[in-house]
Structure 1
């Protein structure tokens, strides 16, 4: 059974059992900044309404999985932002996501991410692999979430993403945890990475998201400890090691390739 079908079945069971409704986007994040430009004209509004009625085969329609997480830039790790992913699971090994700076209708599109399984990662050329960040740290830390879906469905989703990799390009600096962004998409795309050690995220970044979305990363971390035996050493875990002005420490189960998960030494 495909992950998407399994997710839909889990959701259907929860709804049938009288649990909370599905899409409940708690605490929308305000996009920053608002792009300059004139208000939409009546003509544009009418054209949009017509397009919604007549163009029902949009490739955005399958982007029905919402993930909330965080990205530091690989070449500038202190440039960190909250990232809302809206994803389509194309098949069991490949997903594609559009990234926004919030989860409400006024959010700005500021990047893209492709997600592949460990199996597909192994097929990449050696010079391509450094562009792909590991996901085990995001999952086991509890930082990556799928807000608004039942616990069983989210756990299945995260289990399916263990040992996967993502290739993420941010095309618009719409603001960071510690600074304002640009009013328009400026400059070249920038490669984003993942947090793989405690202390890499700037103080307050995760906590601020948790309060707004009414979620608990620490609780998720405890719940996901049962996924730790599934974690395999991944490439890129130590890509940002030592590049933060704060003390950092290993996450249990999150290990760079060539290291022993027990000793932390290179094999």
Structure 2
């Protein structure tokens, strides 16, 4: 029976391991399978693999990843891979006709807005939220980098009412952001929906809070989702939280809208009586949040006798 070699150095007492190992070594874009019973040789081979892996370590959300084929700023923005074949298109269309896509079909809104990285607010991105409302107090959003057919899924945002937010523990509240300014300032828009039709929903959303995890940092050139997710914040009316003018100009030109005009039209939208200071935590404390992936021991108790 073949066994995969566990990560890390091999122990000094090989008798605790099976006598046969399967070692997979990366060789360019392929893999080389090596089967051996020689423990010393295996140790050497495994060390070579470990060093190769270190060259391509995925960065945490507050670091730039080391250069690798999936992260090349200024290069092709699309993921690496071959174009879809005609046969694949036919298979996908057939599956679409025959399968139930109920969760996707419940998406009832397209929202275009902006988000800032919690750990580096100079990094700002335009986002496209496709929103599903599960009930009056909870919404969930699939977040894309654009609204075209090749838009990349870059994260997820959960939106809760102020009532639910106040029930969360303080440490959890630190990860959330408010939406009041974002909506009142005309940053949050429903493209191609007349403002008069969208205003009732905007009045509800102005009192909500969101938690947005970005899983694909396309703004730094990542062609694949790399590393740990990054926590995102909403724009705010203070220096660090202001959206860059060039981002606004590009968005407004695309949809033939005026952020300033939208701001004026939303003057009558009621602001929340109180925004919990645990949200938008950086405003008072000057601290953001970043995620690091750390190796940990696995639970090795099997669910079967």
TM-score by length of 2: 0.64
Q: Given that residues 163 and 232 in structure 1 are in contact (C-alpha distance below 8 angstroms), is that contact kept between their aligned partners in structure 2?
A: no
1:130 to 2:170 alignment: no
Matches of 2:196 and 2:119, distance apart in 1:
36
1:46 to 2:90 alignment: yes
Matches of 1:229 and 1:58, distance apart in 2:
34
Structure 1 partner of 2:265:
223
1:96 to 2:140 alignment: yes
Query: What are the equivalent positions in structure 2 for 1:96-175 lying under 5 Å apart?
Result: 96-175=140-219
Structure 2 partner of 1:208:
250
Aligned pair partner of 2:226 in 186, 192, 198? 186
Other structure's SS at 2:123 match: strand
Cα–Cα, structure 1 residues 82 and 242, in superposed 2: closer, same or farther, change >3 Å? farther
Matches of 1:59 and 1:84, distance apart in 2:
18
How far has the Cα of 1:33 moved from its partner? Answer: 1.5
Matches of 2:85 and 2:102, distance apart in 1:
23
Other structure's SS at 1:153 match: helix
Equivalences, count:
208
Q: Given that residues 73 and 190 in structure 1 are in contact (C-alpha distance below 8 angstroms), is that contact kept between their aligned partners in structure 2?
A: yes
Q: Given that residues 77 and 240 in structure 1 are in contact (C-alpha distance below 8 angstroms), is that contact kept between their aligned partners in structure 2?
A: no
Cα–Cα, structure 1 residues 229 and 101, in superposed 2: closer, same or farther, change >3 Å? closer
Higher RCO, 1 vs 2 (CA within 8 Å, ≥6 residues apart) = 1
Matches of 2:192 and 2:245, distance apart in 1:
25
How far has the Cα of 1:241 moved from its partner? Answer: 6.5
1:57 to 2:97 alignment: no
1:35 to 2:79 alignment: yes
Q: Given that residues 114 and 127 in structure 2 are in contact (C-alpha distance below 8 angstroms), is that contact kept between their aligned partners in structure 1?
A: yes
Q: Deviations over 1:160-197 (max 9, x none)?
A: 1022000000000112xxxx521111110000001111
- What RMSD in Å do the two structures reach over aligned CA positions? 1.8
TM-score by length of 1: 0.73
How far has the Cα of 1:141 moved from its partner? Answer: 0.8
Structure 2 partner of 1:239:
282
Q: Given that residues 74 and 240 in structure 1 are in contact (C-alpha distance below 8 angstroms), is that contact kept between their aligned partners in structure 2?
A: no
Matches of 1:242 and 1:228, distance apart in 2:
27
Matches of 1:56 and 1:223, distance apart in 2:
40
Aligned pair partner of 2:116 in 37, 54, 72? 72
Q: Given that residues 110 and 171 in structure 1 are in contact (C-alpha distance below 8 angstroms), is that contact kept between their aligned partners in structure 2?
A: yes
Other structure's SS at 2:105 match: coil
Q: Deviations over 1:195-235 (max 9, x none)?
A: 11155222311121111111111111111111145553333
